[in-house]
Amino acid sequence: RIRHAFLNAQPLTFVIPAFPFKSPNTTEKTLGVLPDRGEELAMERLEHLCTQIDKVYPHGVSVVIFSDGRIFNDIIGVSLDMMDAYYSELQTMAHVAGHTHIKFDRLETYTTSSDPNQELLVRYECDKIDMKKLLKEDEGMLATYRGFRRFITKDLSHKWVGMSKTAMDKEAGNAAKLMIQRNMAFST
């Protein structure tokens, strides 16, 4: 796509699935639930990258931050209200900072139901994936599964106090499988 835009003197658009929400684990991972200096610095870097590209590519460039929070907010235990507050504050931060190259988008723009995850799972038949078979046959997917399990365990450790290790492993494993299915539907 970059080559096509370049050859046709069209603006470049980079889409980054990022900035879903803050971790709900405010005990060990974050100081709060709204964007902070970390997001501010990240957007400054994206804006700077675009201004540097503008210097050598006169047809324009933008970065679309595609919030992927809706893909797994319920798995991690982040409410829609909290996710929306984070998204809104992120947009405000970009506007106040004067970032002219950064735009925002999200899953809800492309779905029609009240449950966009289920809509995508069914639309792309990711709800029919045999996860046990997939993880057995695909080493890359197994690595993703293990990474998701670690992520989930850390994000939800504050909620799992008192649970046995076996119960935590089972919860994390089920959540990781669902995240993979949703990720596959989202990226299709």
Q: Are residues 52 and 137 in the same domain?
A: no
Q: Are residues 100 and 123 in the same domain?
A: no
Q: Are residues 77 and 123 in the same domain?
A: no
Q: Are residues 22 and 90 in the same domain?
A: yes
Q: Are residues 101 and 151 in the same domain?
A: no
Q: Are residues 130 and 105 in the same domain?
A: no
Q: Are residues 130 and 187 in the same domain?
A: yes
Backbone phi and psi for residue 111, each to the nearest 5 degrees, phi listed first: -125, 165
Domain count of the chain? 2
Over range 59-75, report the average pLDDT: 95
Mean pLDDT of the chain: 94
pLDDT at 29: 85
Q: Where are the alpha helices (DSSP H) in 57-164?
A: 69-76, 80-97, 116-123, 131-137, 139-156
Residue 139 CA, chain-centre distance (Å), reads 22
Q: Are residues 66 and 119 in the same domain?
A: no
Residue ranges making up the domain that contains 93? 1-110
Q: Are residues 96 and 188 in the same domain?
A: no
Q: Single out the residue in 61, 82, 110 at which a domain terminates.
A: 110
Confidence band for 1, pLDDT divided at 50, 70 and 90? confident
pLDDT at 136: 98
DSSP secondary structure string for all residues of 29-68: T-S-SS--HHHHHHHHHHHHHHHHHHHH-TT-EEEEEEE-
How many other CB atoms are found less than 10 A from the CB of residue 115? 12
| Structure confidence by residue, pLDDT tens digits, 40-60 | 999 999 999 999 999 999 999
Those residues whose C-beta lies under 8 Å from the C-beta of residue 153, and which sit 6 or more positions away, are 160, 168, 172
Provide the 8-state DSSP code for 77: T
pLDDT at 64: 98
| Structure confidence by residue, pLDDT tens digits, 129-171 | 999 999 999 999 999 999 999 999 988 888 899 999 999 999 9
Q: Which two tokens stand for residue 77?
A: 């235990």
